[in-house]
Chains A and B, each alone.
Chain A
Amino acid sequence: MNQTQVPSGLNRLQMLALIVGGVGFVLLMIGWFLSPAQFFPAYLVGYILWMQVALGCLAILMIYNMTGGGWGYVTQRILRAGMLTLPLLAVLFLPILLGLPTLYEWARPAAVAHDELLQHKSLYLNIPFFIARTVLYFVVWIGLALLLNRWLLHLDQSFDLAAGRRLRGLSGLGLGAFGLTVTFASIDWMMSIEPHWFSTIYGFMFATGAVAAAFALAIIVLNWLMKRTSLVEVVSTLNVNDLGNFLLAGVMLWAYMTLSQYLIIWSGNLAEETPWIYRRTTGGWEVVGLLLTIFHFFAPFLVLLSRTVKRRINWLVNVAGLVLLMRLVDLYWLIIPAFHESFYLDWLMIVAPIAIGGIWLAAFIWQLKKKSLLPLYDAGVEEKLLDYGRTQTSTHS
């Protein structure tokens, strides 16, 4: 059966990623030593970008297990490798734990002592509970990833429809758990940087960003592999078209969520909410916002309307690259204005996503290399059997 082999170029890429990541981390350590106040926000932005990619892979894989579809069959192994980087990301979270008081106002006892609202929230926003919750999120995500991985590989070895059904059940429950944990993770890690502010759509926004980032990554990796392996013979135009449509849906949903939040807060014009959007639309930050409107929405949206682009992966990959870059800019725009009233960018903010990305990519390739690039099991197999069964019965009758 189909054993699409892993190309040797992957080893070189992995080495390169590891070197870039290693050098990056050395630079980050220097940055941390020089100025923790600069280091932590930059690290958080870079970290969450890759966290979103990994979480998106987990979510998409679970969705694919429930819906099936050729697009998922050809990207399954990419998504699998993506979600299996979660243990690494758990380790990479440790620096953030060391910087809690730098990042979060609620973690500074002096600030809480003078703020009634923070005292009210300290039931939820306190360091031990924060750590406990973060541990819980990682237990849920890593547990899901490992279990999914195990069952998917089991299906590779023995064709077992009952196991396929179990996998679907796990994915359904897993998506529910994913929705809850991701929501609270986004509140804890990002929203609580400005602890007075709240927005109920935040979890949806975070999850949408994660899924869009993961689709972008999947397209980029698929393109890289198609250039170098026999995968190019398996992936159909329709698969690429579907992935393009998902990327389109991702940018549209991102715009929808971001606009909904903006419009509602802007219309309400309440003192407890508007500071958040005010900060992000003044002092030079409005330029970043405008950049996002154009390059996170209008440009990819208009290009992806064209079927010609969606059906050619070497064109589509450019859009995917843009979307992944804009995911970084979006996170930067969501997080950094909390620390700087006017536009601010330093070298650590450039280094952090690259350094973490390098290490992440090395781990990703390590996982990708372990298995063939195509699985034996396809979540759409039941439908195929059904069609097969239908032709069988009709020819016999």
Chain B
Amino acid sequence: MQSSEMLGKTPEVQLPAPVIGPGYTYGSVTDKISSLVLSRRTPLAWFVAFALASLGTAMLFGTIAYLLYGGIGIWGNNVPVGWGFDIVNFVWWVGIGHAGTLISAILLLFRQQWRTSINRFAEAMTLFAIANAGLYPLLHTGRPWFDYWLMPYPNTFGLWPNFRSPLVWDVFAISTYATVSFLFWYTGLIPDLATLRDRAKNPLLRILYGIFALGWRNSAAHWNRYHAAYLMLAALSTPLVVSVHSVVSLDFAAGIVPGWHATMFPPYFVAGAIFSGFAMVLTLSIPLRKAYGLEDFITMRHINNMAKIMLVTGLIVFYGYMMELFMGWYSGSQYEEYLILNRMTGPYAPLYWALILCNGLIPQLLWFRGVRNNLLVLFIISLIVNVGMWLERFVIIVTSLHRDFLPSAWGMYYPTIFDWTMFIGTIGFFLTLLLLFIRVLPVISIFEMRELVPESENA
């Protein structure tokens, strides 16, 4: 059957949007993306956003300075609730970092072309999210100037880290993830840095881009190995990304606190991480494509697909909540049963129900194509999911800790003003780094976009 007949028979069916708008050539793709960095005037909105984000960054470093002076007693952490905002935010940020590597690696292995225009941006988001995540446990040690003790190295004390502790696994997982994500991101950038080197008019810029391009010259022999290396990095990153949030979940699950000790935690945390990561990519890319006129590169196809992945991972997370409830009862353990009861009716119950609303119910709207194609609604849903995933971590950490086995050891947790300034500060810091990235590096992979340009356009 000829395709034209197929088309002719069903004219009313709407085709999905393409991955790149019509009418682009190798040259115009290159010029458009590199002009964002090199020649286009920076929009006013960028300066406004940068100023606001910098305020947040200043607040973060102000809080850290006071934290170094005053100690972690300035936070709300207390004896039954030894992990408060610091670990909630740590897990939240690590989770957000997951979409980047997922998009870059897994979608590459599955040859999903639509990943191309969002991977670079999502990878950068990953790096900045991990940077923020890493701050929390490092500062939580109380004496961050001794943090190098976490690393295994022969030392004069004759000490080694305790490899039977999940917290040490975490050091390995997060630092490996940060390093490999950086390698992946930088490897992807090398050909584009060469493109910028060749386009830049300013000699200083040309030298700077030239240094980081490492002398890349688009040689076919180089491309050959480059392609192999890139695929292998993707194949390595895929299990890595799964392992990272699994190890984070083991920080909880390897202990015996009710609400933490569940065998489901590793896959459940990974699904939650992807869920929140895609929510953040949507939150950021919807305004970005508008501000920079990237609608032809980040098309409705991308937005739609990301919404679908959010729906799937959201359902897995919701399944996790249901399993917790069922197994809480099925276990027959009074502690597990009380935990469920306390979550639903205890002092933090409003947060639990808000969580069910944000992560369980509202994302069900994504079943409807109309919702997935409505940018404003999608943007709002993505914000709600970001909030919901934060609430999930709060509920898991705080409500599990504040009432565990002995009622005499129960307590409450209230964040202090410094918990909040630090949290809002990390958001500011994240946005600052992201805005700088948008300003100095290509937000979309130029060479991979050239691959997507249809042959006929260049004839």
Contacts and interface: CB of A to CB of B under 8 A. Distances in A.
B263 A264 contact: yes
Contacts, number: 121
B200 to A, nearest CB: 31
B29 interface: no
B454 A394 contact: yes
Given A201-B264, A386-B16, A393-B22, A267 B254 contact: yes
A35 interface: no
A117 B267 contact: no
A272 B18 CA distance: 54
B456 A394 contact: yes
Interface size bucket, A side? Answer: 35 or more
B15 A389 contact: yes
B23 interface: yes
Interface stretch (A81-89, A281-289, A377-385): A377-385
A276 to B, nearest CB: 10
Interface in B10-63: 10, 13, 15-16, 18, 22-23
Contacts of B262: 200-201, 264
B327 interface: yes
Contacts of B239: 252
A256 B238 CA distance: 13
Interface string B319-338: 10001100100111100000
B330 A121 contact: yes
B382 to A, nearest CB: 20
B261 A264 contact: yes
Nearest to A169: B367
Interface string B367-397: 1000000000000000000000000000000
B122 interface: no
Nearest to B336: A198
B239, B246, B254, B263 interface centre (most CB from chain A within 10 Å): B263
B3, B22, B256, B316 interface centre (most CB from chain A within 10 Å): B3
A264 B16 CA distance: 44
A202 to B, nearest CB: 8
A280 to B, nearest CB: 14
A204 B267 contact: yes
Contact of B256 (A176, A270, A393): A270
Contact of B261 (A202, A268, A383): A268
Contacts of A67: 110
Q: Chain A's interface: helix, strand, loop or mixed, by majority?
A: helix
B263 A390 contact: no
A268 B256 CA distance: 5
A58 to B, nearest CB: 17
Interface residues of B, number: 45
Interface string A61-76: 0000001010000000
Contacts of B454: 387, 390-391, 394
A383 B17 CA distance: 9
Given A199-B263, A390-B22, A397-B23, A272 B333 contact: yes
Nearest to B267: A204
Interface in B65-88: none
A14 to B, nearest CB: 32
Nearest to B15: A386
Given A203-B323, A394-B454, A386 B18 contact: yes
16 contacts: A120-B332, A121-B332, A159-B1, A176-B315, A198-B327, A199-B264, A200-B262, A200-B263, A201-B263, A201-B264, A245-B109, A256-B242, A272-B331, A387-B454, A388-B3, A389-B15
Interface of A: 1, 67, 69, 117, 120-121, 124, 159-162, 165, 172, 176, 179-180, 183, 187, 196, 198-204, 245, 252, 256-257, 260-261, 263-265, 267-270, 272, 376, 381-391, 393-395, 397
For the complex of A and B, 8 pairs with smallest distance between CB atoms: A200-B264, A267-B254, A201-B263, A161-B13, A260-B266, A199-B263, A388-B3, A261-B263
